[in-house]
Chain A
Amino acid sequence: MIALVDYGVGNLFSLRSSFAALGVETVVTADPAVIRGAERVVLPGVGAFGDAARKLSAAGLDRAVVGAAKAGKPLLGICLGMQLLFDVSYEYGTFGGLSLIRGAVRPIREKIPAALKIPHIGWNALRFTKPSPLFRYIKEGDHVYFVHSYAADLTEATVATAEYGAPLVAAVQQDNVFGCQFHPEKSGPVGLSILRAFCEVSV
């Protein structure tokens, strides 16, 4: 059973529907005990980093998510949920994340040429920088759907990038901790294949 962490940021409707389409059972939960008992955990999220980090810790869910990751359970952060896996974000201030992956999240504006529009929104192609079990059913060059104005730094944990004036981090992995900057639940069959691969990562 997969726990979808519900901490009041973003809409879990599509994510729940995506797993349902794959025939995978999910539970949308804000209960640390349910997260601790789940086989896998998905941390979604849209909105601003500081607000999300505050809501996550206010409910005690930060400790539950970190605990699940430390226990070796597959964890997938999506969009802002991926950014929360990092140490720190500079979105409207300086805010601490879950520190499951080393590095920082910064405005895309600092990373790309000024002529390009922000947010980075739309379908962009994946370039693999390292092998990852997430890519088991997809190939390099497949398109996925992005909407974001902040991006993680390129680090050892980067497994895929997308080119937007510069390579932007598209996916990360540190052992059993995974993250997608794009929205697999909005990326058609390619996105569903990524979610399916996550469901099959061995525990």
Chain B
Amino acid sequence: MITKRIIPCLDVRDGRVVKGVNFEGLRDVSSPVELADYYSRCGADELVFYDITASAEGRGLFTDILKKTAERVFIPLTVGGGINTLDDFDRVLKCGADKVSVNSGAIRDPALIGAAAKRYGDQCVVLSVDVKRVGGRFCVFAKGGRENTGLDAIEWIKKGVADGAGELVVNSMDTDGVKGGFDLPLLSAVCDAVDVPVIASGGAGKIEDFITLFDTLPRVDAGLAASIFHFGEVDIKTLKQQMARHGIPARL
């Protein structure tokens, strides 16, 4: 049986992890290489690097650090942020990324997912969607959640999967940062609409939130979070042991 995946997400700018992290025993808490190594050793099933670099020069630093990380971390690595063209796919895949996550880039260029899936395979293309309720509808937001595209989230996700996205990261802006649990109604609607793996994001505050997620929605494949892992509020090893104790398949 496939285990449920636990995925820490690292925001990286100009080759450094932003948003502080708080771990004892790390020499350099803003080094993506050290953090990735730490997470892979404590049982993370996968890592997401999110590149929030603005300049081309900074992107160079990012790819450099990505390479260094991929040389040392032998679990799947997904890279997102600033992916707008096939060249962007190429750039990060050559540095050791296994999957590439697209968000605003797919909105700007509706042909991007199809072209990338054709060249690199569906399994390589992850569609990441920022969703917020507006007037009772699930709407897709772009540009890091700043702009309402007016697109219906479920329709957008269906189209992305039909075009070749092999996996989805569904980030609820309504639950993100609140630490009150994942957005179960949204995730349920997504699971009903598509049959590719779904990664839940936004809202996890404690171990029980992950247990509730996988208990309530067994079709969700993975839980993604950032700060609760970085600040040690949720320890990945403990989380996975608790999942196993609740009968949720976990890689221990």
Contact = CB atoms under 8 A, between A and B. Distances in A.
A18 B196 CA distance: 29
B74 A192 contact: yes
Contact of B96 (A14, A122, A143, A192): A14
Contact of A119 (B5, B70, B95, B123): B123
A68 B120 CA distance: 29
Interface string B37-60: 000100001000000000000000
Contact of A122 (B71, B166, B197): B197
Contact of B121 (A46, A163, A189): A46
A48 B120 CA distance: 10
B72 A17 contact: yes
Contacts of A192: 74
B221 A17 contact: no
Contacts, number: 79
Given A147-B123, A186-B98, A163 B75 contact: no
A71 B94 CA distance: 33
B167 interface: yes
B197 A18 contact: no
Contacts of A187: 74-75
B95 to A, nearest CB: 7
B182 to A, nearest CB: 19
A191 interface: yes
B22 interface: no
Nearest to A46: B121
B123 A121 contact: yes
Nearest to B67: A13
B98 A143 contact: no
Nearest to B252: A143
A13 B3 contact: no
Contacts of B1: 124-125, 163-164
Q: Decide if the interface of chain A is mainly helix, strand, loop or mixed.
A: mixed
- Interface size class on chain A is 20 to 34
Given A123-B2, A143-B251, A163-B1, A14 B70 contact: yes
Given A145-B75, A186-B75, A124 B2 contact: yes
Given A13-B94, A186-B98, A121 B121 contact: no
Interface of A: 11, 13-14, 17-18, 20-21, 46-48, 117-125, 143, 145, 147, 163-164, 185-189, 191-192
Interface of B: 1-3, 5, 40, 45, 67, 70-72, 74-76, 93-96, 98, 121-123, 166-167, 195-197, 221-222, 251
Given A122-B197, A143-B251, A187-B74, 16 more contacts: A11-B93, A13-B96, A14-B98, A17-B96, A117-B221, A118-B195, A119-B166, A122-B5, A123-B45, A125-B1, A143-B3, A147-B123, A164-B1, A186-B74, A186-B98, A192-B74
